[in-house]
Structure 1
């Protein structure tokens, strides 16, 4: 299960994600098994992942974001327009040290 992030931690992660480029783009096929596997691999390597989601309407986009977060066991940091940022801490040797509160 994804760790719940405090507002301070989300703010810190948003700052780190600001300069990142979107690593994955979700297209018309939506959330596929291959996309989930690639997202999980990227989270294992980077811990912080920016994803562009091209969906027709907001409800579908929100559904895809929720599905991707749950299937990768990642926490949603932020969502602005078509872009979502996810965080999942590494089990060994974490790269990002989160603030306490």
Structure 2
């Protein structure tokens, strides 16, 4: 699924008020954390994840792994906060139509 810039901006606006639902700690990306992110995406569609890592390369590798394993779209990453979107069967979030 590819989103247009306008659609991504809409999702960023919706994500602004959200708090991170999953926070990665010193243990890094484990199977349990991935399962939690996957469950949160299924339930909410749009979530924030806090990736606490001092090393930028490690943080980017973790973000890439999360996106790959959950099959979610990376909407935005600012500092340690990652915004992910994955549409569920019920389509809880209405996305503007692509023109």
Flag structure 1 segments of 5+ consecutive residues without an equivalent: none
Tell me the residue number matched to 1:41.
39
Structure 1 runs of 4+ aligned residues shifted over 3 Å read none
TM-score between both structures, scaled by the size of structure 2: 0.94
Instruction: Provide Cα deviations, 1:46-77, integer angstroms capped at 9, x if missing partner.
Output: 00010111012111111111100111110000
TM-score between both structures, scaled by the size of structure 1: 0.93
Higher relative contact order (CA closer than 8 Å, sequence separation 6+): 1
How many residue pairs match? The answer is: 98
RMSD: 0.8
CA distance in 1, matches of 2:32, 2:48: 17
Mapping of residues 1-101 of structure 1, within 5 Å: 3-91=1-89, 93-101=90-98
